[in-house]
Amino acid sequence: MASLRTGLITLAALALAGPVHAAGQAASRVDDLRTAQERVARAASSTKGGPQHRLLQEQRKLSDLIDDLEHGRQVDPAEIDRALQRAENPGL
């Protein structure tokens, strides 16, 4: 009986830890995306014309990813990685 109780407690703890860990990862990704968004916004403010338009579009994509993560929507991790990579050199 005691081993069944221990097993159930362990399973409950694991079930609760999963969403908490996922929430922590999502928050970390949101922070990374916000930093990238700020970097792109700075680059956009110092350019004009087509390059500025491209940077503003990239800023919007980052904003959409942040919004999706904050509202618990599914986001492809590869899309986050691509967005962060594009933001590394926003002037290119």
The helix (H) or strand (E) run that includes residue 53 is helix 49-70
HSE-CB of 13 using CA atoms within 13 angstroms: 6
| Residue 7 included in any domain | no
Residues of the chain with pLDDT under 50: 20-21
pLDDT at position 30: 95
Q: Is residue 13 part of a domain?
A: no
Q: What is the pLDDT of residue 20?
A: 45
Number of domains, the chain: 1
> What range does the domain containing 54 cover?
23-88
Residue 70 located in a structural domain: yes
Is there a domain that residue 8 lies in? Answer: no
Residue 52 lies in a domain: yes
DSSP symbol at 89: S
Please report whether residue 6 resides in a domain.
no
Rounded Cα distance between 16 and 19, Å, is 6
pLDDT value, residue 14:
67
Residue 13's pLDDT is what? 65
Q: Give domain status of residue 27, yes or no.
A: yes
